[in-house]
Amino acid sequence: MKPALLHIRVPFCVRPCGWRPNCEVISGWDSARMGSYMRAVRAEIEANADQFTDMRIEAVRFGGGIASNAGEGIAEVMRCVRQCFSVASDAPVTMRSSIANISGANMTWFKRAGICRYDFEMMSLNQMDFFRLNKMDSLNDFETICDYILRSYNNDLLGLILAYGLEAATPQATIQNFRNSILKVVRSHVAHLILLCYEGDSPASDEQQGEQLAQARELLAEHGFREYIPLHFAREGLEDRYFQRSHEGATEVAFGLRARTIVEGACSTNTSDLDTYLQYSADYTKITASIEASL
């Protein structure tokens, strides 16, 4: 069977991003809307899985927003995936997450889904920058979540998403604040790190961003992290299969709002209109926004 990757897009955040004002996720918490969306994703999977019967899923990614907001819906979608697709026995399942969603109740569903790494979108571990970038979480909860709750569930691998490129009060603080975040990463149980460029007001200069990244790369390398693809770092042997093979141009099957499926040089993109998707997710002719050659 042909190897493929699977991406499930859950494009919702409780509050607008502090680091990317023009992001395309849907803000605001609505449990009924989330339930309807996850049911629509399952309907899309069930209606289209027979197009991919010659493929074996080698890695699954829940992303597109803070996917952990879906709670029980993550387990329901993964059950549907396993029923409809051939999934490799060692296929990792990773999820873009918020520590605000980590609780005893939700962890039951996430474990049932087989989540093996939680990529917490903290954006910064420096207090001053954190308050500007993260509108959802509490920095004080981060250590508790990492050291107690996740470790109690068989030492699930911890991932982080941090932002570089935020300007502070002084040029020195701009460099030092980001460096402090990286120092906290290397001294923690974090196994995987993604760095994203800050896109909001008051960005650091190109020179400052370059210095931030240079220091980050040096510190991470000194503590056993390897940059296996640009701006993605992992401890030895813990590189992310989904990101690595996507970077190499692997076949990707995707479901959800704005999902992009890339097969044999063609890229099919789903609609960005939520109402259309919720109503017609099982009919690809109505939710396909474009089909074009992939780059």
**pLDDT for the residue numbered 23:** 67
Percent of the residues in the chain that have a pLDDT greater than 70, as a whole number: 94
Does residue 20 form part of some domain? yes
Residue 146 phi, psi dihedral angles, 5° rounding: -65, -45
**pLDDT for the residue numbered 221:** 98
**pLDDT for the residue numbered 146:** 78
**pLDDT for the residue numbered 151:** 67
Q: What is the arithmetic mean of pLDDT over 23-43? A: 88
For tokens 């899309």, what's the residue?
44
Q: How confident is the model at residue 283 (pLDDT cuts 50, 70, 90)?
A: very high
Contacts of 104 (CB under 8 A, 6+ apart): 149
Query: CA-to-CA distance for 150 and 216, rounded, in angstroms?
Result: 26
**Proportion of the chain in helix, strand, coil states, percent, rounded to 5:** 40, 30, 30
DSSP run (H or E) holding 11: none
Instruction: For 229-250, write each residue's pLDDT tens digit.
Output: 999 999 999 999 999 999 999 9
Backbone Cα Rg of the chain: 19
Instruction: For 78-100, write each residue's pLDDT tens digit.
Output: 999 999 999 999 999 999 999 88
**pLDDT for the residue numbered 18:** 58
**pLDDT for the residue numbered 137:** 86
State whether residue 277 is helix, strand or coil. helix
Query: CA-to-CA distance for 203 and 201, rounded, in angstroms?
Result: 6
Does residue 11 form part of some domain? yes
Does residue 17 form part of some domain? yes
Average pLDDT over all residues of the chain: 92
Does residue 147 form part of some domain? no
Most confident of 36-40, 121-125, 144-148: 36-40
- Residue-number span of the structural domain to which 267 is assigned: 1-92+240-295
Kindly state the tokens that stand for 153. Answer: 């569930």
Does residue 228 form part of some domain? no
Does residue 207 form part of some domain? no
Kindly state the tokens that stand for 250. Answer: 């692997």
State whether the Cα torsion 207-208-209-212 is positive or negative: positive
**pLDDT for the residue numbered 27:** 74
Using alpha carbons, list the distances in angstroms from residue 243 to 133, 180, 185, 218, 249.
24, 26, 20, 22, 10
**pLDDT for the residue numbered 224:** 97
Q: How confident is the model at residue 107 (pLDDT cuts 50, 70, 90)?
A: confident
Instruction: For 177-205, write each residue's pLDDT tens digit.
Output: 999 999 999 998 899 999 999 988 889 99
Query: CA-to-CA distance for 6 and 93, rounded, in angstroms?
Result: 9
Q: What is the arithmetic mean of pLDDT over 42-71? A: 96
Does residue 173 form part of some domain? no
> In the predicted model, is pLDDT for residue 156 greater than 70?
no
**pLDDT for the residue numbered 209:** 97
Query: CA-to-CA distance for 289 and 228, rounded, in angstroms?
Result: 33
Query: CA-to-CA distance for 9 and 277, rounded, in angstroms?
Result: 12
**pLDDT for the residue numbered 149:** 66
**pLDDT for the residue numbered 14:** 74
**pLDDT for the residue numbered 81:** 98
**pLDDT for the residue numbered 22:** 63
Q: How confident is the model at residue 6 (pLDDT cuts 50, 70, 90)?
A: very high
Instruction: For 116-135, write each residue's pLDDT tens digit.
Output: 999 999 999 999 999 888 87
Does residue 112 form part of some domain? no
**pLDDT for the residue numbered 182:** 98
Are the C-beta atoms of residues 140 and 182 closer than 8 Å to each other?
no
User: Total domain count for the chain?
Assistant: 1
Alpha helices per DSSP H over 49-192: 72-84, 104-113, 127-133, 139-144, 151-152, 171-186
**pLDDT for the residue numbered 164:** 97
Global pTM?
0.94
